[in-house]
Structure 1
Amino acid sequence: MSALVDGFGRTVRYLRISVTDRCDFRCVYCMAEEMTFLPRAQLLTLEEIATLSQAFVELGVEKIRLTGGEPLVRQGVLTLVEKLGKLAGLGELAMTTNGSGLVKHASALRQGGLDRLNISLDSLKPERFKALTRTGDLDQVVAGIRAARRAGFQSIKLNAVLLKGRNDDEILDLVNFARDEQVDISFIEEMPLGAISEHNRGETFLSTDKVREIIANHYPLLPTTETTLGPSRYYRMADSQSRIGFISP
């Protein structure tokens, strides 16, 4: 079969699949507090997702990432992971999650063939975390991060969306947490996705250039050419194995 090439001449090697639009959090930069989700009949079945994934791998896709909403709220997603984990030719299977289900599912995900995890973590302050996610429990997510570490994933990365005046005072705390937990972390500019009414995106916008400057004043950052086929631009610190990534929309 021919390889997948986009209109800019780039070979497509990385596929993201949203397995559900539902989530057990209602993060203020992502969703309204009261949401109307798609009828289940309009979603691909897990069997259809597995069939499409095989077709994409045959066309040269090397990495698949399962996303949501929150993928772990989709009934049967562990079975899907097991199917995709057996695809001949797939180099890497990853998942983005809010971490709330990892205490329960981390071990089974790893055993099923999941290689990498991205875990959302926007604050280390319990009350602030609850305010940003509206329904999330920080202790549960931190326990999930540690369960994932014990499960032995090839890589674990934290994702932090920074909002000026809301959690930008925790930039170094989040870096230090990633260093202590021996995981990577990416800082993400708020993206203009989804209808929200909780805040004005223009007022809370914080550029990744400013975030990088704040970190570099404490930890000199060494640029790298490393890639996970995703959008992060990675930097390293001389005294840590944790990488720091920056994502702009």
Structure 2
Amino acid sequence: MLELKDAHARKFQYLRLSITDVCNFKCQYCLPDGYMPDGRKSFLTVSEIAHLTRGFAAMGTTKVRLTGGEPSLRKDFTHIIETVANTSGIEKVAMTTNGYRMAKFASQWREAGLDAINVSVDSLDPRMFHQITGQNRFHEVMAGIDAALEAGFKQVKVNAVLMRGLNDNGLGQFLAWIKDNPIQLRFIELMQTGEMDELFARHHVRGSVIKEQLLQQGWQQKLRAHNDGPAEVFVHGDYCGEIGLIMPYAKDFCATCNRLRVSSLGKLHLCLFGDYGVDLRDLLSDASQITALQVRLQEALLDKKATHFLHQGHSGMTPHLASIGG
């Protein structure tokens, strides 16, 4: 069996699949001017997603995360969840969302086969949430989190992008929130992308600052599962929730990389900060091309670098995080 393994002996069980680059939020760290259409795009169809997922699953992928943009903007999103969840070999289907449709659809998504939800909540202060995201929807998003827990999701992961001078002093408020709620709160270091150099210089703060505070307060680090994402996760006996830290500038961050990305236009990206994408779409029209798809994936992985080059200020071809799913 062909497997997803690179020249550095890393295996890839986790696919981050973008299904659209359209988003209705205007987050400062991603699309501060809102989504700007660049011509009329033809995003991957449900049939193409089915062939792609089968190809990855046959090579050892067990987890698929559906991302965007905002994935729930697609009218066929529930059908996409069903398609991926019913693929042999796929054990977990997750999504990343801005949360504005969760209150209405969380139960429907759960029934379709969605196992896990990550939702962005960059501040628990509604005014700061509005300032960072460009949308006055804090209470809708929080209602969506409640709806997801009521629908049977055992845990909701909440993403907060750390930004100096905006939300980096909100740890205490976040900790109070997760004390009695099954939330894994994940602080994500602001990452430099092609269009965000000035914002990065102004607002970047290291996740290690939060890590040091947690360790001083008695939090302990959990072991990672084989198909977990890049977060370092911390637990505390007095808290129902957990804290995750995603620190791409930390030493050896890339050593445990287990994920690949495919864009909404069908391009394989070996790294969020890579210099190019490998087109897969010509091999997604029917099931007879699955072997050719697997060969192309395996060949592409031979060129995956040992690490990103963010420390040298090189963010690759990624103009903003919405372009290939963050």
- TM-score normalised by length of structure 2: 0.72
Q: 5 Å matches for 1:205-224?
A: 205-217=204-216, 219-224=217-222
Q: 5 Å matches for 1:135-174?
A: 135-174=135-174
1:106 aligns with 2:129: no
After TM superposition, give the deviation of residue 39 of structure 1 in Å. Answer: 4.1
Report what 1:203 is aligned to: 202
After TM superposition, give the deviation of residue 38 of structure 1 in Å. Answer: 4.4
How many Å separate the matches in 2 of 1:87 and 1:179? Answer: 36
Which structure has the bigger radius of gyration? Answer: 2
Equivalent pairs counted in the alignment come to 247
SS of match in other structure, 1:225: coil
How many Å separate the matches in 2 of 1:11 and 1:156? Answer: 26
Report what 1:74 is aligned to: 74
- TM-score normalised by length of structure 1: 0.93
Q: Give the conservation status (yes or no) of the 8 Å contact 2:29–2:199.
A: no
How many Å separate the matches in 1 of 2:48 and 2:136? Answer: 31
In the superposition, relative to structure 1, how do residues 109 and 34 fare at CA in structure 2: closer, same or farther (>3 Å)? closer
Q: 5 Å matches for 1:114-129?
A: 114-129=114-129
How many Å separate the matches in 2 of 1:136 and 1:4? Answer: 42
Aligned letter for 1:224? Answer: K
Report what 1:184 is aligned to: 184
Q: Percent identity?
A: 35
Q: Give the conservation status (yes or no) of the 8 Å contact 2:178–2:239.
A: no
SS of match in other structure, 1:129: helix
How many Å separate the matches in 2 of 1:21 and 1:131? Answer: 22
SS of match in other structure, 2:238: coil
After the TM superposition, which of the residue ranges 49-58 and 99-108 deviates more from structure 2?
49-58
SS of match in other structure, 2:144: helix
For structure 2, list consecutive stretches of 5 or more residues without a partner in the other structure.
249-326
Aligned letter for 2:49? Answer: I
How many Å separate the matches in 2 of 1:88 and 1:107? Answer: 23
Report what 1:88 is aligned to: 88
Which segments of structure 1 move beyond 6 Å, counting only runs of 4 or more?
none
How many Å separate the matches in 2 of 1:53 and 1:211? Answer: 36
SS of match in other structure, 2:180: helix
How many Å separate the matches in 2 of 1:136 and 1:5? Answer: 44
How many Å separate the matches in 1 of 2:201 and 2:68? Answer: 25
Report what 2:267 is aligned to: none
After TM superposition, give the deviation of residue 47 of structure 1 in Å. Answer: 2.0
After TM superposition, give the deviation of residue 57 of structure 1 in Å. Answer: 0.7
For structure 1, list consecutive stretches of 5 or more residues without a partner in the other structure.
none
Identify the structure with bigger relative contact order (alpha carbons < 8 Å, sequence gap 6+).
2
